[in-house]
Amino acid sequence: MSKINCIGILTSGGDSPGMNAAIRAITRTAISKGFSVKGIYRGYEGLMHDDIEEFTTESVSNIIARGGTILKSARSKDFMTPEGKQLAYETLKKEGIDALVIIGGNGSLTGARDFAQMFDVPCIGLPGTIDNDLYGTDLTIGYDTTLNTIVDCVDKIRDTANSHERIFFVEVMGRDAGFLAQNSAIASGAEAAIIPEDSTDADQLEHFIGRGIRKSKNSSIVIVSESPKCGAMFYADRVKKEYPQYDVRVSILGHLQRGGSPSARDRILASRLGAGAIDAILDGQRNVMIGIRNDEVVYVPFTDAIRSDKEINKGLIRVLDELSI
């Protein structure tokens, strides 16, 4: 393997709070170890079209507290083609970039894996996604901040739910993973969470309604994982139709979940993983995601990280069920 002198950084896919802290950690750790660093704007799109800038320690000053990503982000269909990857590789050679650090989720790391296999470029991934759905790491960058944002919103929704004696279905992000919904339900004292990992859609709603609403409770909050077919509106409409005695409302939290200053936990996680990415390059690692397990930094092969079977702790389902009586 040729000597690595210059490291490129990009953020790809959906933004997550803490990405800037990771960019800062990668840049400053790399420079302290003798590497030069280049920031690649707008993800793989910027890599294909040479939207790249030399980074110094000053480039990442005062960004640790900022949400979003200073490198911007994008989802690129063109990069998925062989022609797109070829164009990206030619840009790498032109810019003298010897290794890439990619901050993103499942799709971003899949792209990194395929690119690395096609051109034998050392690629290191960081788990930057609010969904917490990457295998091999206990936490992903942005998950904790988003969880806190959801809980803050649900606390406010509870106020109006109590005032009007309503059932609120609150839809949160998470795609095919219920980590945000399940844990925010526990943290906010919600009565139920409807998540893809728990039985069937119908069973979950029937279980919630079947228990009845306690006489001492004049409102209920149900957290629902987003889904094109079975989101919060789907369940609210079912309740309105099948149980017309209940006053039902829907709140879809949407993209406000992605924004905001990262929590201390996300800043620390991003900083550790960013520094870990440079340590991995020095260690000769390639095509791995830097994760955290049992509070230790670990290397997870891309093929393992993008697996779709990261399991939620089923004990959390029991905890919520028992606490919401």
User: What would the pLDDT profile of 256-301 be if each residue is shown by its tens digit?
Assistant: 999 999 999 999 999 999 999 999 999 999 999 999 999 999 999 9
> Cβ distance 85 to 115 under 8 Å?
yes
Query: What pLDDT shows up at residue 176?
Result: 81
Is residue 9 within 8 A of residue 41, CB to CB? The reply is no
Q: 192: left (phi > 0), else alpha (psi -120 to 50), else beta?
A: beta
Which residues are bridge partners to 292 per DSSP? 297
Q: Are 266 and 17 in contact (CB under 8 A)?
A: yes
Handedness of CA 126, 128, 134, 135 (dihedral sign): positive
For residue 324, which of 238, 203, 220 has the smallest C-alpha distance? Answer: 220
Q: Which amino acid is at 286?
A: R
Quickly count: other Cβ atoms within 10 Å of residue 306's Cβ. 23
CB contact at 8 A, 47 and 95: no
Q: What does the pLDDT read at residue 321?
A: 84
Using one digit for the tens of pLDDT, what is the confidence trace for 118-167?
A: 998 999 999 999 999 999 999 999 999 999 999 999 999 999 888 887 89
For 218-234, b/e burial (b = at least 16 CB within 10 A) is ebbbbbbbbbeebbbeb
Two tokens at 27?
A: 């840049």
Longest dimension (CA), the chain: 71
How far apart (Å, rounded) are the C-alpha atoms in residues 41 and 270?
A: 19
Side by side, the strands of the sheet bearing 192-194 are 192-194, 220-225, 167-172, 248-252
Q: How far apart are CA 1 and CA 195, in angstroms?
A: 45
Residues of the chain falling short of pLDDT 70: 1, 199-218
* Catalytic-residue membership of 114: no
Who contacts 7 (Cβ-Cβ below 8 Å, separation ≥6)? 26, 30, 35, 36, 37, 38, 97, 98, 99, 100, 101, 278, 281
Q: d(Cα 292, Cα 290) in Å, to the nearest integer?
A: 7
Contact 137, 305 (CB under 8 A): yes
pLDDT at site 14: 92
Which pLDDT belongs to residue 325?
75
pLDDT recorded at residue 209 = 65
The answer for 27, left when phi > 0, alpha when psi is -120 to 50, beta otherwise, is alpha
Tell me the two tokens of residue 123: 């690629």
Q: How much helix, strand and coil, in percent to the nearest 5, is found in the chain?
A: 45, 20, 35
| Closest of 66, 17, 318, 39 to residue 192, by C-alpha | 318
Catalytic one of 15, 51, 98, 131 = 131
- Residue 273 DSSP code: H
- Residue 215 pLDDT: 46
What's the token pair of residue 139? 């936490």
